Structure formats: C-alpha cells, structure tokens
A = this chain, B = another copy of it.
Amino acid sequence: MRLFPKRYHPPGTPPGTLVSAAKPAYPVSCQWIACEEGALTLHDGLDPEAVRARMAAGAMTWVRVQGRPSAEWMRAYGATLALHPLAQEDILNGGQRPKLEPYDGQLFLVLNVPREEDGQIVHEQLYLLRQQNFLVTFFEGARDPFAPLLERLKESRIRLRRDGLDYLFYAIVDTAIDHSFPVLEALGERIEDLEEFLVEHPERQVLEEIYALKRELILLQRALWPHREVVGRLLRNEGEWFGEGVLVYLRDCYDHTFQILGLLRSYREMIAGLLEIYLSGAQVRLNETMRVLTVIATVFMPITFVVGVYGMNFRYMPELEWRYGYPAAMALCALIALAMVLWFRRRGWF
C-alpha cells in the first residue's frame, strides 16, 4: 500500500465530477440478488430494467459490483442505481477514509478490508449504499470476500425474512470488519517469530523485518482506526435505519472494532519494545567487542614495548650480556601480562 493512497481531482474541480482513475480500472463484474420471502435468487450482470422495476416495487434487492468501475460505467449505471453524485465520485477515486455519510434517503458507508497476500497486506475498500429496500455494494479487487457469506445466508433465511435488509446490511459490515482478524493473527505470528528469532540471531536483517512490520502497523492503524467511529455512528441509529433486532448484532460488531484497535495497539507497543531490545543488545555487544580489544591491547602493548627495548642496538646495554637476561625478560613480560589480566578481572570485565 502506498503512503498516499488517495486519487484526487485537481483542487478546484466541482464536487461530483467523474474522472476515471489513472490506473486502468479492474474489469467489473456485476450481480444482482433478489431477496424474496426466504429465497435468494442470483442473477449475473446488471439488467437496468429489472433493477428499476424491483426498486419501484420496493422489493428487497442487493446489487453487487466487483472490481473498480470506470467513469463510463458510472455514467451508464449510476443514475439507474440512484447513487448520490458524491458517492459516485468517492467510489471512482478510491482510497477513502472509512466513513458514514447520510445522504437524503441514502446511507453511504465506506470500509477498509485488509487482506494478506504473499506476506504483504493489501488494503481494499468496500462501499455500501443503502436505500430503503435496495442495497448496492462495490468492492475493489478481484477476490470475492462475500462468497462464503452468500452461501451461509441461504441457510439462515429466517433472519432475512424477519429483519430483511437490516440483517443483510449488518452481515456485510460484520464480514468486512472481521476480515481484519486473519490479518492480525498473521501479524501477531510474525511478531512472535521475530521475538524468538531476535534472541537467537541478533543479525542485521532483523532491523528490516522490524521496520516492515512497523510500516504495516502504521498503515493498518490508519485504515482501521475510523471503523470504530463509523460503526459507533451506525449504532446510534440516527436515521432509524435499523430495527432493534439487528442493533444487538451491530453492538457485537462495534465490540470487534475495539478489539481490533486494542490488538493493533499492543502490537505497536511490542514492536517498539523489540526495537529497543534489539538496539540495547547491539549496544551491549559493542561493549563486549570493545572489551576484547581493550584487554588484548592492554596486555600486549606493554610487553611488546619490553621486547622492543631489548631489540635496541645500544652498545652499552648490560642486560644483554647477562646469562639469564632472556628468561628474565620473558618473565617480566609474563608478569606484566598477568598483572593486567588480574586488574581487568578485578574490574569485572570477564
């Protein structure tokens, strides 16, 4: 994920201007789902006629768009789906901060859905637009995170019958938010691996792993932080969009947003702690290195001086003539070395 994720118009562009993203738009695949009394019928593609008819009849309908649409697509279908111009612009631009916008008669919700791919965290966005009995979702990226949800929804038709779109809306939000858990679990494992590795192999590449983890956490925090506020506002139920029955479940979802931020916070503190420990260890090892050097130098410099003395070529050096001069010099060296070693030992150096 790039540090600056947003695409934006040149400042001064009027709001609601639709411009395709510079990146080529993913191929878009659509699907609409008719939620009849306890039965979900899936239709591929997007039939404007059918959609308009269902909308007029107030029949429960979910339109799913996968991939990021182009400006042309939006101009073609935006009006059919009755999307607010500002919502259209946000969907085209992508990289939004998660938010909840009540437009007149519409509820617009943006959420981040993180995912792990080859050890990298990819951030994709989900856009929900709810009109009374009509729900449109846009999800960037190629993978479909809601397939298992659809499967399971078919089995829990009872709730759909009772709470209708409220429950469907909740189930999508809950799925999106819970996608943080596998990502956090993987990160938690990376941190714990690093923790163990650090103790045994205090090498250079550890630093890069620490930094990589830190970067992921900063970006993840930025992406997930606003969820708490967004779900909190959903819970306050200002526009009376949700029935009592579903609010209990939304509270559960709200609780998850707190849990996620709590995990992120402790991860960040752990990483900070690991860096401190790593640096402290480096400092300690530096000290040990220097002690080895100092001990060696302190032992050998004086005795090298001694042998240097007896290598001088002065004519009058009585010691050189002595019978036991050589062993005496050697003994002097040994004495000096011993004294040095003892002195270091007394200072507690080894």
Contacts and interface: CB of A to CB of B under 8 A. Distances in A.
For chain A, the bracket of interface size reads 35 or more
Contacts of A178: 8-9, 11-12
A87 B12 CA distance: 25
A282 B159 CA distance: 60
A285 interface: yes
A315 B322 CA distance: 8
Contacts of A4: 184-185, 188-189, 263
**Copies in the assembly, this chain:** 5
Contacts of A249: 15, 86
Contact of A145 (B11, B96, B215, B282): B11
A325 interface: yes
Q: Is chain A's interface secondary structure helix, strand, loop, or mixed overall?
A: helix
Given A277-B211, A303-B305, A315-B320, A292 B293 contact: no
B275 A275 contact: no
A28 to B, nearest CB: 22
A6 B258 CA distance: 13
Given A2-B192, A215-B273, 20 more contacts: A2-B188, A3-B188, A3-B191, A11-B145, A11-B148, A12-B145, A12-B147, A13-B148, A15-B174, A86-B249, A97-B259, A101-B248, A207-B281, A283-B283, A289-B291, A293-B293, A293-B297, A307-B308, A314-B329, A315-B320
